[in-house]
Structures are given as C-alpha cells and as structure tokens.
Chains A and B, each alone.
Chain A
Amino acid sequence: MTTFGVLQIVLYLVVLILLVKPLGAFMARVFQRERTILDPILRPVERVIYRLCGVTPDQEMDWKQYAFAVLAFNFLGLAAVYVIQRVQGFLPLNPTGLDAISPDSAWNTAVSFATNTNWQNYSGETTLSYFTQMCALTVQNFLSAATSMAMLAAIIRGFARSGDNAQTLGNFWFDLTRATLFVLMPLSIVLAFALVSQGVVQTFDSYITAPLVQATRDANGNPVTEQVIAVGPAASQIAIKQLGTNGGGFFNVNSAHPFENPTPFSNFLEMLAILLIPASLCYTFGKMVGDTRQGWALFAAMLIIFVALLTIAVWAESVPNPALSKLGIDQTASENQDGGNMEGKEIRFGIVNSALWATATTAASNGSVNSMHDSYLPLGGMVALIMMQLGEVIFGGVGSGLYGMFALVIVAVFIAGLMVGRTPEYLGKKIEAYEMKMASLAILIMPLIVLGFTAIALSLDVGRATILNPGAHGFSQVLYAFSSMGNNNGSAFAGLGVNTPFYNVLGGLAMLISRYWLSIPMLALAGSLARKKTIPPSAGTLPTHTPLFIGWLVAIVIIVAALNFIPALALGPIVEQLMLK
C-alpha cells in the first residue's frame, strides 16, 4: 500500500468518525421531536403536509399498524415506479424520445427502488427519460431510505420504552416525513451543489453532439465522426442515491462515469455519503436509549470488521494480475503510476479509492460503484461478496443496517446468556423465546434466499445463458447477483446479463423477501420489547458496551456468515484465486 493510499484511508475514516456524533445527535432530536436548527423553515412545511394528508402525528401506532403503513406506502410507491416506466413515452422531459420499459424490467426496477436495493438492470442513459429518473427513481431514493430510517426509529423506541402503556412504536407518517425533510433533503441539497461544482452534470437539455478529434470505426467497420454525449439532471439524483444507501446510478456505469463522479474530491464526498447516515444512526440509537456508549459499541464492532476487510481489498487489488505479468506489463506502483489491477478502474481514483469505495458500498447496502467489481481479482471481489453476505450489518443500509445488527446483538446476548447461565437481557429488556424467534427469522431467511436462488439459477439453462465469464468466475457472478439482491445491496458483477425475464422476476422476488422478511420480524420484536418492563442493571447483567462484548459481537457476526457462506465462496472466488498463477 502506498503512503498516499494509507493517508487517504485515514483521512476518510477520521472525517467519518468526526461527523457521527453531530449528525447522530441531530437525527435523535428529529425523531424525538425536539427543537432543531431547521425548525423555522421546515416546521411550517411539515404542518401543511400533515394537514393535507390527514395525519395526526401524536396518534401512535402499535407494531402491526406501523408495519401495515410501511407496506401500504411501499407498495403504492412500487406501483408508481412501475407505471411511470411503462408510460414514459407519453410523459414530458423525454428529450431523446425513449420508449416504454418492458414489463419484467419495469417490475424489477420498481421493486428495486421501493425496497432501497437499487439493483440496476437498466442502462440509465439509453433507456430512462429524465421524467422517470426524477419522478420515479429520485423520489423512491428519498422515500425508501426514509422508510428504513422510520422503521429504525420505531424499533429503537421498542428498546427505549418501558412497560405499562407502551404498546406503540410511534407514527410512521411522522417518522417518514421527518426523515425526508429534516435529514435527507438538506444533506442532498448541500451534496448536490458540491458535486456540480466538481463537474457532475445538472441540466434538462438534450444530449450533446460534437465532432470527434480523430474519427474512429464502429464494430462493423463503419466510420464514426461524431459523438453524442449523454447528460441530464444527474447531480440531484446522485446526491440522494449516495446518502440514502440507494446506489442506482444515473448512467449505466454508475459513479465510474466521469459525469457522475468527475474528480477525486467528488469521489471523496460520495464515499463519505455512503457511510455517513448509517454510521451516525449508531449514535442516534445510543442517544434515544439514553446511553450513548451502547451506540458507540455497535459502531466500534462495525468499524473493526470494516477496516479488516478494507485492508484485504486494498491489498488484493494492489498486486499484479499474473495473467498480465506474463505479457511483460508494468503493474508496480511508482511515482508515475498506481499500478495494480486497473481493469475496470478509473485513473483519477486509482486502486485505493476504488477498493475503499467497493468495501464501503457493499458494507452499507448502497451498491453504487466507481469501478467494476466483476473485474476485481478473486480476493478483492470476495471482500465485496462477504460484506453483503454478512447481512448488510456493517453500517448497512440507512436504518436497515442497524436494525439488522440488532438481530445479531440479540443472538449474541442470548448465546452469552446461555454460556454463563443467566437470563439474557439487552438494554434492560429480557430476551425470551419470542425475541429469539424473530431475530432468527430475520437472520436465517437471507442465506436461504441467496443460496437457494443461486442454486435455481445455476440449474436452469435460462440462468446460465447470460453468464459472461467462464469457469469459477461465472459461478461468482450469479452468487454475487443474488447476494446483492437478497441483501438489498444493488451492486453487481455486471458481466452477468440480468435484464432477462428470468433474472428480473426472480431477482424482484429476492429483493421483496429480503426487505420485508427482515424488517417486519424486527418491528414485531420491537413491539414485544416495548411492552416489557426495563430491569435496572444488576451485578449479573452482561454489560453490552465493553470491549469484551464488542469482540463477542464481531465474532458472532463473522461466525453466522461463515457457517452460511464459506462453502459457496469456496466454489467461486477461492477456486479462482487458486487458479491464478
């Protein structure tokens, strides 16, 4: 690793850590309806919304009502995205005259954006009109992220509230509106302007035609003398797709595109935006349960795994590809070049910023990319796979990452309790059979979907037909696709042709199951916890903010994933690594 590489990673982590407390504290105030600096502007807007929508923010919901509201809202959103794609040919803001999207592709994209996955089966600049990008995709970027944050706020209230009348978890419409207006919108506006200043395009004009400096030839040998440069209102969408752990790009190659991510500074901001909210929510959690040490403990566990896997990824991508070394290519890092595995990477980012992005985007369930993961060396690609297969709990999606981590925390305190023979408890709440059932449901359905659907795809001709790369890497491509959709991540080994009816339909199903089969049991768990009396800590209580517990949680996270996925990894990246010489 080069000196500048280490410096950039340290800078990134330091800035991230410094922002956790201020933003986390702010979000706690937002969800607890305390006074914030944005109140003078946003409170009136908020009140108008509640009045028009017939929402009484004080009217609290129990977990079932909350879950119903989430489902109703998300399915309406899904329907809207589907319909807009199907009729975009008749809608305005379509300067290049793009036609309707096919039903299976529209279904996949609709599920993808409503579930905060943002799996990209489409190629933005060649298929989606500006109207679709804005009124379907950008909207769901906000709302699916706000939905996750709202559910997290509700689940945290389950931990924080104590007994008696506490049947309820809050009001979904209140949480949703506040997450959008107070958190996502202001951050997006700031980030969007910063990105435009770096050269991200933001225009409603049509694509630009310009003559080429040197004429070239296309695949059929016909002369090409001019280029068409795709543009659009990109910055506004990129800002929220990074902040809301969405990840669906404006352009086909996502943040590898020079108009989506033009400079190293835009890259730094976009990477920061990936982890900013999920990391800060750890502090929000601590604040809302009245013990910030609990939030820092979860943050520390996530950071430990993040740094460990990041180190592997950077190292794996810095080594020369033996297949190119044989050809006498210079792949060593020097003053004048970064070297390493440059296939699928951009010069302005180099190895470190590509590997750092890949680790962050798969740790959080963001899924945007600034380099092509498919072309990573086997161990580098494996880091991305593992990050997703951990269940998107290393920071994870905004909201969903932390409540996913709660499931593992419950398992960790339960096992610890069994080992020392005490009743397990977390934050003063007894963990009993019902909580363990819900946590197990949330944890176990994901590997079933990922591995089961991978097996189905590989045993059918339609699943194998669109694999680009031969051998073990082809297996990795399919495993990656379902690891990504089955964890609402959205990044891809993009060589796999996924815009087929088979992958669109099955993938849509995977995204739906993984989204709601995680969140609804967690809401149920929170509903059950809310009813329980909080027991004051005693000498027999296992403290959950100590280094010992952090280490224990890290071990549980890794063991659960390892038991599920090591056999599958052995068939893909591990075999490939052994063949590399």
Chain B
Amino acid sequence: MFAQLRPALMILALMTIITGVIYPFVVTGIAQIVFPSQANASLIVQDDQVIGSARIGQSFDDPKYFWGRLSATAPFAYNAAASSGSNLGPLNPARAAAAQARIDALRDADPQNRAPIPVDLVTASGSGLDPHISIAAAMYQVPRVARARGLGNAQVQILVVRFTEDRQFGILGEPRVNVLQLNLALDVVK
C-alpha cells in the first residue's frame, strides 16, 4: 500500500504545476491579449485618469445624481475591496429599518414625489457593488435629478434610456440601468 505514496506525492506536485501555474498563466496571457479591457476590470478612463469601473457601482446620495442600491459593505458603502451582502433575514427588524431610512432619504430629497418606491432602491444588493438599478428605479428619480440640475425631465429620461441595457440576446437577465455611467453622462451635460 505504501507504494502508493510516491504517485500520490508526484501527481500532486505535477498537477499543482499544470492546474495551479500553467493553467492560470496561459489563461491570463491570452485573456490580456484578446480581451484586454474586460480582463482588467472594464475601467472607465477620462483624461488619462481612471475614474472607476463600469461594472462596480459607487455610492451616491447627492440629489443631482441617480442613487443605486443599498450596499452593506464595510466600512463604507460600495467598498470595492470588500464585497458583502447584508445577510439580513426576511423578518430581521434591521432590514425594515434600513429600508425606512432609505425611504426617508428619498422623500426628503424629493418631497413632491408620491409614487411608490421601487423595491430595488430600498434593498441591499448581494455583492454590495451592484452597478445597476431597475428602469422603474431610474424613472422614479428622474424628476429629482432634473430639478437639481435645472434640466427638463425629458432630457434626463433620454439619458436614462441611453444607459439602459436590455436583456442580453433579448432573453437573458433583466433590463437595467448603469448608475455610474448615467451619472458621468449627466456631469458632462451639466
């Protein structure tokens, strides 16, 4: 039986080289050539300066910006170096409290808006870094953003539509709006 120890050790060593070194290095090498942007975090660059990743959300609470999902990352929201969900159970009072705090903030920033708030604006995402909101959540915020920037609702809506991603291949996933890209575009307009 102990004759099996040599193959055990040797196969572990060889497989560590094949699966642990060669495999990731080959994949990285080719990925860097064929998909350089995707493999390097889909960064958004303005004036030679990296200002974020198109896939990673950021925290917004200024009325002139669209706001994203709640984020449970520590020690601050949307910490891209420490992803985390809230992990709050459905009956946990902390969940209702977090939702209530967001409702209050949304109502304070836009007292005239009496429409029911879409659920994704008052719930934390799984990653804490969700870059998207639903179309409903974007439309809900259009009047506030338009007013804060002195723009027309229609003008802001056009931008929302521009940064709306449809279901992939017309069937997969859900339609969604990229908050960071939308806000960057707003800053360009005004």
Contact = CB atoms under 8 A, between A and B. Distances in A.
Interface of A: 4, 7-8, 11, 49, 52-55, 65, 68-69, 72-73, 76-77, 80, 123, 125-126, 134-136, 138-139, 141-143, 173, 176-177, 180-181, 185, 188-189, 192-193, 196-205, 207-208, 210-214, 216-220, 224, 227-231, 233, 235-237, 240, 251-253, 256-259, 262-265, 267-268, 320-321, 323-324, 326-331, 334-350, 353-354, 369-372, 374-378, 468-471, 473-474, 476-477, 493-495, 576, 579-580
Given A327-B99, A347-B69, A375 B119 contact: no
Contacts of B34: 193, 196-197
B32 A203 contact: yes
A203 B41 CA distance: 9
Contacts of A53: 6-7, 10-11, 14
Contacts of A268: 172
Interface string B66-78: 0001000011111
B91 A473 contact: yes
Contacts of A139: 15-16, 19-20
A494 B42 contact: no
A268 to B, nearest CB: 6
17 contacts: A8-B171, A11-B171, A202-B32, A212-B58, A213-B187, A214-B62, A219-B75, A231-B41, A235-B39, A253-B85, A258-B57, A263-B168, A264-B167, A328-B103, A346-B130, A372-B87, A469-B88
A294 B91 CA distance: 45
Contact of B40 (A181, A227, A231): A231
A197 B35 contact: yes
Contacts of A185: 18-19, 23
Contacts of B77: 216
Given A73-B8, A346-B127, A371-B126, A237 B81 contact: no
Contact of B7 (A55, A252, A372, A376): A55
A235 B35 CA distance: 12
B90 interface: yes
Interface in B41-95: 41-43, 49-53, 55-62, 65, 69, 74-93, 95
A192 B82 contact: no
A580 B90 contact: yes
Given A53-B6, A324-B99, A469-B92, A252 B20 contact: no
A180 B129 contact: no
Interface of B: 1, 4-12, 14-16, 18-21, 23-24, 26-28, 30-32, 34-35, 38-43, 49-53, 55-62, 65, 69, 74-93, 95-96, 99-100, 103, 115-120, 122-137, 139, 167-169, 171-176, 180, 183-184, 187
B172 to A, nearest CB: 4
Contacts of A336: 118, 134-136, 139, 175
Given A330-B117, A340-B119, A348 B90 contact: no
Interface of chain A, main secondary structure: mixed
Contacts of A68: 1, 4
A63 B75 CA distance: 53
A561 to B, nearest CB: 23
Given A4-B167, A213-B183, A216-B77, A337 B120 contact: yes
A233 B15 CA distance: 18
B185 to A, nearest CB: 11
A259 B86 contact: no
A348 B132 CA distance: 7
Given A214-B59, A236-B28, A4 B171 contact: yes
Given A203-B39, A473-B90, A177 B174 contact: no
Contacts of B38: 196-201
B129 A348 contact: no
A391 B16 CA distance: 30
A260 to B, nearest CB: 8
B138 to A, nearest CB: 9
Contacts of A321: 90
Contacts of A346: 125-127, 130, 132
A252 B174 CA distance: 24
Given A126-B82, A253-B127, A214 B65 contact: yes
A236 B137 contact: no
Nearest to B90: A377
A227 B58 CA distance: 9
B129 A257 contact: yes
B108 to A, nearest CB: 15
Nearest to A251: B83
Contacts of A339: 119
Nearest to B164: A336
A476 B91 CA distance: 13
Given A72-B5, A258-B56, A343-B124, A473 B92 contact: yes
Given A193-B31, A473-B90, 19 more contacts: A11-B171, A52-B14, A135-B21, A189-B26, A200-B38, A208-B43, A230-B82, A251-B83, A256-B85, A327-B103, A336-B135, A337-B120, A337-B136, A337-B137, A342-B119, A345-B125, A345-B126, A471-B89, A580-B90
A198 B10 CA distance: 37
